[in-house]
Structure 1
Amino acid sequence: MQINTFEEYQETYQKSINQPEEFWAGIASNFLWKKKWDNVLSWDFASPSIKWFEGAKLNITENCLDRHLAEKGDTPAIVWEPNDPEKESITLTYRVLHEQVCRFANVLKKNGVQKGDRVCIYMPMVPELAVAVLACARIGAVHSVVFGGFSAKSIADRINDAACKVVVTADGAFRGNKQIQLKEVIDDALIGCPTIEKVIVLTHTRTPVSMLKGRDCWWEDEIKLVDSNCPAEEMNAEDMLFILYTSGSTGKPKGVVHTCGGYMVYAGYTFSNVFNYQPGEVYFCTADIGWITGHSYIVYGPLSQGATTLMFEGIPTYPNASRFWDIVEKHQVNILYTAPTAIRSLMGFGTAPVQGKDLSSLRVLGSVGEPINEEAWHWFDEEIGKKNCPIVDTWWQTETGGIMISPIAFVTPTKPSFATLPLPGIQPILVDEQGKEIEGNGVNGNLCIKFPWPGMLRTTYGDHERCRLTYFSTYQNLYFTGDGCLRDEDGYYRITGRVDDVINVSGHRIGTAEVENAINMHAGVIESAVVGYPHDVKGQGIFAFVIYPGLSKDEDLTRKDILQTVTRIIGAIAKPDKILFVSGLPKTRSGKIMRRILRKVAEGDTSNLGDISTLLDPAVVQEIIDKSKQL
């Protein structure tokens, strides 16, 4: 299954394009199936309708746990490093993880969860989060993990959209020197969530919490009431495995749906190849399981391959900027997969935090979440990899389920800030605004994929039409990624950023409409427009232009009030970095906001704004430019 030379990559890629069904059937045969498939693939991008391994029966947890027990039962499956370096790390072997997953699966069943029910998981980065995810999959329940930084309103929206039956949470979470009151946030969210019947609460921070009789119960108590015998539910390959909410260009988050068979095959195959994972290695992905990276490359991908996956509760700069390097040294980490935001943030501390740290165990470095800039790439290569470790700069999305364009470690010649080449089975094309293919090298265009792959989304939960409109309607018979892309003279791909109204902040996609809706909820705001702009650490920052007629002299206080509003409605992750108060916005006569003008202002480049004569009030542009110089 692993590709070891560039020639082998080229041959494998060609076969995967010429005979995709035969290729993926061969990859799938490396996994455990209760029943083989009747048909490898049927698809139609117009509907869209995509089905992989139809007729096959499986359970993904048997592939992640049971099949490793005989030979790897005592091998570490999950190593957990707590927020506080003074506390002990915890290691769960495959045998122990299997037992814990089966026990918690029985807890879910005891609390009324059945196959097909949706379970919302809102937890800190602790081993029990992985246990809860796998326990849902064990019994055929659909998990919806919500990132621990989201507000009560954001959680309520996600619970109601999926009509979740049970919430799994904890009393609180540690994040650097802060404590986050998770149970309190859940209590606020559940005021408006009629479908929730039970809340299972893990003790973690020992924060006092309110427990409602009949609804809330403690994880520790429930575990004692069940045994560890839980046969895996037989699932169809196309049954739902999980829903994961992602921001879109409208204010309402969309629930991306991934299914059991294709997702498993794709996550496992890409993990094994991209990172060149070798048996016994320690693999450390610094992401949160609340994001797709954590699903695919902390839980399902590594465990399906019998790997040792390291989970980390904290942040890169607490208690100091050596934290990552201390973890690498302590656990002899071989593969480190992190975000450009983290790398840029650590670069800011210089090389002192790296001095004296033994990073010699590192073999492969990886980058995820957004395109990595050249400066950060070189720092990562020189200071962390000591020029001995290939950097896999991976491009993919929540919707793709796994890595799509990336170097394969030790195989693909790398180039700073380029995602390089598509993985086997992936057929990218660049198109112009009209959808016409742009051929050849040394070209720019909108990135689309013209053939299905096993890990791709199947629908958006409860709204298939939204899935069609968002991903399959822009260009006929193509999956549109929403990203602009450059293909250079060598045929290497470089992602140039979003072309729709989505901002990539620290690797997290945030819809401009979602932030605008939150700002507009503030009592004094009439209207707002939000754009992204280059940010030294986050990659992109959020710049808000706000119409607030009754503005008093204290602009700073009003800014803080607006930030508080956004935090309450979405979460701190979506707070604007800059807020500029304006008397009007540049609009066309039909009322559409000309965002390209606002982007130019946010970027500080107002030399060439193009034609603004079609605006309803062209004078408003000069006022915005003048005001922006005072920020």
Structure 2
Amino acid sequence: MSLTRSYPADHAASLQDPEEFWDAQARQLAWFQPPPRPVLSQDSTTGFYHWFRGGQLNTCWLCLDYHVENSRADQVALIYDSPVTHTVRRYTYRELLDLTSRFAGGLRQLGVERGDRVIIYMPNMPEAVVAMLACARLGAVHSVVFGGFAPHELAVRIDDAQPRVIICASAGLEFDKVIPYKPLVEAALQRAVHQPAAVVVLQRAFCPAALSAAHDADYQTLLQAAPVAAVPLESIDPLYILYTSGTTGKPKGVVRDNGGHAVALKYSMAAIYGVQPGDTFWAASDIGWAVGHSYCVYGPLLHGCTTVLFEGKPVRTPDAGTFWRVVQDHQVRVLFTAPTAIRAIKKEDAAGALARQYNLRSLRHLFVAGERCDPATYEWAGRTLGVPVVDHWWQTESGWPMLATLVGYPDMPAPKAGSAGFPVPGYDVRILDEAGQSVPRGITGLVAVRLPLPPGCLPTLWQDDARFRSSYLETFPGYYFSGDGGYHDADGYLYIMGRVDDVINVAGHRLSTGEMEELLAAHPAVAECAVLGIACALRGQVPIGLVVLKDGQTPDEPQLEQELVQLIRGQIGALACFRQAAVVARLPKTRSGKILRKTLRQLADGEPFTVPSTIDDPLILDEIRQVLERRAIGQAFDNPPASR
């Protein structure tokens, strides 16, 4: 795909005549039956929007068969790099199609047909990608659940999706720790009301699982089935369900349709990431997350790229240079990861010495997303790698970026530290106040997107239209409400400051904890940090800081605290009332790397809370509780000084 127009022209065209713009992008795909005009329709019952209704296609066919039939059969489609199992394997498009079509035949033997649901509970491994694509080939709706998720959470998803089949690995690896998956699946099935017809198990040599004759099937045995052809599907048929956290405790099943998803991802590969067919693209994400779906699997394969699937961590596999080794070994052109991964590398290799040991000349851009990238991390990555760093913003619900510096457009302004860039074509992003009115530039407000959303975004939630409407559409009628806060600067760059929960009110002043985190992260001793707004009888809320130090840093803690306090006071002012910062060994995060700020705030305030199912290590919370108690965090505000 060549981008012949400028970014401003394309963005304006996408808002002024979205049907014409997206119809042109849809023609980049090989449809079984092209979508008729109009390509955008609105459901008369629900009022929800749908793209390309009446068109027929198959996402798996577009990812594999199309390329095999069009001169890419012998190009490498997938590189599996697993430092935890010391394995590197490459699969051409022809080989990946053969595996996928035969596994789809095996699933059909188990009764899986169009519209059935299949839960995939596996680590990052080629067999998981084959399972996803095989479901897409049959028209079955897959739901990938992060490998190692607790049985209760898996059971909730089983009862909501009601899968005909569950596909799991016998085990996963976290560094050198073996995590048996099959017992977790069995425990989940004991809790679940719905029972699948079969559990397909991929045996891993380091931890094989005992199989039950009652309902278990062997993954490798299913691969002996005869291959099956791709099933023509309606554009609006669901491709997958991806569960994301909800405020009620029940996860929300984000639905992704086939047609809009394929059109959006195909467009994004060239426009946003600047890659061409044949380039190697690496999204260092787990396939259980939205990034893993969109940019480990579907986006690169739709575009004819080589995608890297990495099973490991950015550090300790074996060291903080493993990402740079992968870039060198596989000639990665674009790397996409989370800021937390870069911070982990920076913490262990602050001087960037390990990066200099590898040849990184293939790399053109580093993209980061998933959380706000603080300028200190952004600038360190740019210096260390010598390539542009592009922070961009999107959500599980959108399925692809909403804000970015689109490097595929030659007239795009350069990235700016701290900013997520500009609205991607198709997205009319607004910053609103609580009354739904636009706020001036430089003022933080609520981030909303004017309807209709472009292709690729969620059309609804799985079997819950009412919750879709209440969660996203009712706050600002005519808009999708993102739940995030942000602002425009004077040059039009957009900044996402985090969830609305992260905006605190200190004596009537609305302050962003994200801005404070930027300042703390700039301190030379700090590797990463979290700023929390805790309850204060006098001021409503006050901020406190929790900081993790870089390796080798052993500053005097009282002196460090005063330096951090002065950073905030000097840049934001005394009104921030920032007086306490504590050093902690680590911060609690989800498995995708997001810091659990709400849980930390509840812990600091002494509020009851449920340990989130997505937490990487629950023991971290006990460690932090002890630090808060030892430091008497919060008590410094009981008797505030008379003047400040």
TM-score (norm 1): 0.81
Cα offset, 1:149, TM superposition: 3.5
Contact 1:104 1:223 in 2 (8 A): yes
1:25–1:311 CA distance, 2 compared to 1 (3 A): same
Instruction: Determine the structure 2 residue equivalent to 1:490.
Output: 491
Cα offset, 1:375, TM superposition: 0.5
1:364 counterpart letter in structure 2: H
1:479–1:574 CA distance, 2 compared to 1 (3 A): farther
Q: Tell me the secondary structure at the aligned position of residue 495 of structure 2.
A: strand
Does 1:275 find its partner at 2:273? yes
Structure 1 CA distance, aligned partners of 2:544 and 2:223? 46
1:576–1:432 CA distance, 2 compared to 1 (3 A): farther
Q: Tell me the secondary structure at the aligned position of residue 403 of structure 2.
A: coil
Contact 2:52 2:260 in 1 (8 A): yes
Instruction: Determine the structure 1 residue equivalent to 2:73.
Output: 73
1:260 counterpart letter in structure 2: N
1:377–1:606 CA distance, 2 compared to 1 (3 A): farther
1:271–1:48 CA distance, 2 compared to 1 (3 A): farther
Instruction: Determine the structure 2 residue equivalent to 1:215.
Output: 215
Of 225, 229, 232, which residue of structure 1 is paired with 2:230?
232
1:270–1:137 CA distance, 2 compared to 1 (3 A): same
Structure 1 CA distance, aligned partners of 2:313 and 2:269? 24
Does 1:540 find its partner at 2:541? no
1:179–1:2 CA distance, 2 compared to 1 (3 A): farther
Alignment of 1:551-570 (within 5 A): 566=611
Alignment of 1:140-155 (within 5 A): 140-155=139-154
Structure 2 CA distance, aligned partners of 1:532 and 1:35? 58
Over the residues paired in the alignment, what is the CA RMSD in angstroms? 3.2
Instruction: Determine the structure 2 residue equivalent to 1:332.
Output: 331
Structure 2 CA distance, aligned partners of 1:289 and 1:465? 28
2:97 counterpart letter in structure 1: H
1:416–1:61 CA distance, 2 compared to 1 (3 A): same
Instruction: Determine the structure 2 residue equivalent to 1:164.
Output: 163
Q: Deviations over 1:474-498 (max 9, x none)?
A: 1111100000011000111010110
Contact 2:370 2:594 in 1 (8 A): no
Q: Tell me the secondary structure at the aligned position of residue 207 of structure 2.
A: coil
Instruction: Determine the structure 2 residue equivalent to 1:524.
Output: none
Q: Tell me the secondary structure at the aligned position of residue 267 of structure 1.
A: helix
Structure 1 CA distance, aligned partners of 2:430 and 2:6? 22
Instruction: Determine the structure 2 residue equivalent to 1:55.
Output: 54
2:182 counterpart letter in structure 1: K
Of 284, 287, 291, which residue of structure 1 is paired with 2:285?
287
Structure 1 CA distance, aligned partners of 2:134 and 2:314? 29
Q: Is there any run of 5+ residues in structure 2 with no aligned partner, and where?
A: 505-542, 549-586, 588-592
Alignment of 1:497-512 (within 5 A): 497-500=498-501
Alignment of 1:4-403 (within 5 A): 8-38=6-36, 39-43=38-42, 47-70=46-69, 71-84=71-84, 87-193=86-192, 194-224=194-224, 226-228=225-227, 230-317=228-315, 318-349=317-348, 350=350, 351-384=352-385, 386=386, 389-403=387-401
Alignment of 1:607-618 (within 5 A): none
Instruction: Determine the structure 1 residue equivalent to 2:533.
Output: none
Cα offset, 1:198, TM superposition: 0.2
The percent identity for this pair of structures is 37
1:282–1:75 CA distance, 2 compared to 1 (3 A): same
Q: Tell me the secondary structure at the aligned position of residue 358 of structure 1.
A: coil
Cα offset, 1:37, TM superposition: 1.5
Alignment of 1:460-471 (within 5 A): 460-471=461-472
Structure 2 CA distance, aligned partners of 1:547 and 1:428? 34
Structure 1 CA distance, aligned partners of 2:208 and 2:87? 23
Higher RCO (C-alpha under 8 Å, 6+ residues apart)? 1
Q: Is there any run of 5+ residues in structure 1 with no aligned partner, and where?
A: 504-530, 550-558, 583-597, 608-621, 626-631
Higher alpha-carbon deviation: 274-283 or 259-268? 274-283
TM-score (norm 2): 0.79
Instruction: Determine the structure 2 residue equivalent to 1:613.
Output: none
Contact 1:545 1:581 in 2 (8 A): no
Of 398, 403, 406, which residue of structure 2 is paired with 1:405?
403
Structure 1 CA distance, aligned partners of 2:603 and 2:80? 43
Cα offset, 1:298, TM superposition: 0.9
Aligned residues: 547
Structure 2 CA distance, aligned partners of 1:278 and 1:342? 26
Contact 1:548 1:581 in 2 (8 A): no
1:277–1:454 CA distance, 2 compared to 1 (3 A): same
Q: Deviations over 1:343-370 (max 9, x none)?
A: 0111112223223221111111110101
Q: Tell me the secondary structure at the aligned position of residue 167 of structure 1.
A: strand
